[in-house]
Amino acid sequence: MSTGRFTDRVLFITGAGSGLARATAKLFAAEGAKVFAVDVNPDGLAETILAIRLAGGTAEGGRCDVADMASVRDSVERAASVFGGLHVLVNAAGVGRSARLEEIDEAEWARVLAVNLTGPFNTVKAALPHLLATRGNIVNVASTAGMRGQAYAAHYAASKAGLVNFTRSIALEFASRGLRANCLAPAGIMTPIIKNFIPRPDFEPSLVAYYSPPVPHQMSKPEDMAKTIAFLASDDVPMITGTTLVADCVAYAELDRLANRAAHALGGLGVGKGDRVTLAMGNSVEYLVAAFGILKIGGVLNPVNPALGARELGYILGHAEPKVVITDAGGLEAADTVLTPGAFGALIERSSEAPPGVVLGPGDASTLLYTSGTTGTPKGVLFSHGSTGVGGRHFIEALGLTPDDVLLAVTPLFHGNAWGAVQTALHAGGTVAFPQAFHASEFWPLVHRTRATVLYTLGTILAMLLTRAPSALEQTSRLRVILGLGAAPIRDQVMRRFGVAHVAECFGSTDAGVVTITPLGAAWRPGSCGPPVPGVELRILDDEGRALPPRRAGEIAVRSPARLSAYFRDPEATAAALRDGWFLTADLGFVDEDGWLYFVDRKRDVIRRGGENVSSVLIEKTLREHPRVAEVAVIGVPDPVLGQEIKAFVVAKEPVTAEELRAFAAERLAKFQVPRLWEFRASLPKTATQRVEKYKLRDELEPGKPPLG
């Protein structure tokens, strides 16, 4: 159904005689645009123009060689004259083929660069006065070949790489004058040009498999990529410019094949059962290939944040003693072998795609995660294949997931939240999407671009989004469920503002896995994290280890197939946390009569003030309700009379005083729960996954051993 997004707009599009450009021209026309289409192929161009007119649209055009500036200037001026201006320029014309470098002569090299790179320069140069007059948009079509290179297509890859940086450059140069420029880099589209890239028998199979476009059933349809171009050119995203959208996806069968190759590559480096392999990389498909390759060979996946400080990274690597480190960061030499993703990719290319044949049991070690260090030194949490295989299944029934769902994870893949989204998508047969990095300004365009239906995130990220100016995109997405760990205090705000039917709160941890979740369709119980997921048991224990009745707070104990196997190389900590099959979480909470869990606080974060146990979480939740408070962290500080006094660290949205906040808290909390000490800050110390590092706040007040990192 047409939305009329481009009514009375004029589109100038190159390469419109077939493929992606034809689909884009038809879509813009259906959305109300007047289309001026050009191509060197007059017959194909005539078909495109006729199809638009038969559908009730408006289209003109003519033959144009984009490599010839005179031809381009003539076509652009004709378009502006016929339709009274230009609003959108789409450069989709392109040429290329697979060929060995020795086979590419100077003429072919020059022709490919002339069409693919000089062509967009010519059209932008010619159309610039018209686009500046209308504060218009440019969308250039590049390729993933321009992002990573492509064997047997050096000229094509070079031209597309140049186009990516040309787009960024003009976006920067003309941003202040209201002109936007963005780039689309597809991995493979079912268009006529694809026949030019059919691999030859004399090409090295591993290079073809790694770099060539996906097999046909995995390719994008031109109509789908046309929607992405329209999105970039629309008024829905006035803030997006200088962006290259990498339309790079991988089907499960392809991921499995690549993971087999990765497994063999690791085996060739001496990795076997139980050997740790550290993965310190940003979000990418290559991350998943490496991760599943590690698991397939029987290695132990050790995901690490590459941005950690040198001391903390040094501690983790010294403790884990990995045999191999794969990283896109420098300074990680504490392993037998350290590889960049590119070097590891080269090994993958030369490896077999046959299953590695390693026999793995549910008790074999699979993953070694290090806690985020919000309480100080990270602990190594070891999981088995049996426990990691359970994790993602918990969410399918609770959230009503189907293969049609698109799960968007905005945290890094080294974090359990995003890795859980990957596991859930695998079990549900759905799609998982993730950005290279989270940027609040790009969040809603990302949601629309990926057509996400389920969001995996953290309460702190949702709170950050709530502080931003409202966007028209917020109420028009396909999101139906948000799974936000720690989102309970802002649930109602999120649902109202973002138009989401269900915000699911859950309780879990790195060590325990997912424990509870508020199920789809269940009545909301304020403050609750939901009932236990299937297969998980809960107990609330007093200080003597005895079970407590409903509504009595104590330590949360969990019996779950998804929990840790042990703390790596720390038998004392393992013995203290695991008792008779139950994991002691070091968290405080209570259950209601139906078994729904209510989280109170971390045992470490409970403040003992004058004989009263005070929940820092309750105070933080209350203060966040103040309209001028963005973030807050509450800790206990030493007091010679009371034992501990309550101190609140506040990040304000707008100016606010301690007296105002004290009065606000006094109306909602018991007298002994109201903070006496206040400090206002521009920001709070956080981990890479946006968890507040309260131990750093304590260390400032109680100097001792400097924190790692």
Q: Give the residue numbers annotated as catalytic, written as ranges.
A: 156
DSSP state of 146: H
Alpha carbons 165 and 242: distance in angstroms, whole number: 9
Q: What's the CA angle centered on 596, arms 593 and 599, to 5 degrees?
A: 115
- Count CB-CB contacts under 10 A for residue 471: 18
Alpha carbons 695 and 709: distance in angstroms, whole number: 13
DSSP letters spanning 83-138: HSS--EEEE---------GGG--HHHHHHHHIIIIIHHHHHHHHHHHHHHHHT-EE
Q: Label residue 408 left, alpha or beta by phi (over 0 means left) and psi (-120 to 50 means alpha).
A: beta
- 408 φ, ψ (degrees, to nearest 5): -105, 120
Contact call for residues 568 and 366 (beta carbons, < 8 A): no
User: Residue 318, exposed/middle/buried by CB under 10 A (0-12, 13-18, 19+)?
Assistant: exposed
Residue 190: both structure tokens together: 């079912």
Contact call for residues 386 and 363 (beta carbons, < 8 A): yes
Which residue type, as a one-letter code, is found at position 558? V
Please count the residues of the chain: 709
Q: Assign 3-class secondary structure to 240-256.
A: CCCCEEEECCCCHHHHH
Alpha carbons 291 and 268: distance in angstroms, whole number: 16
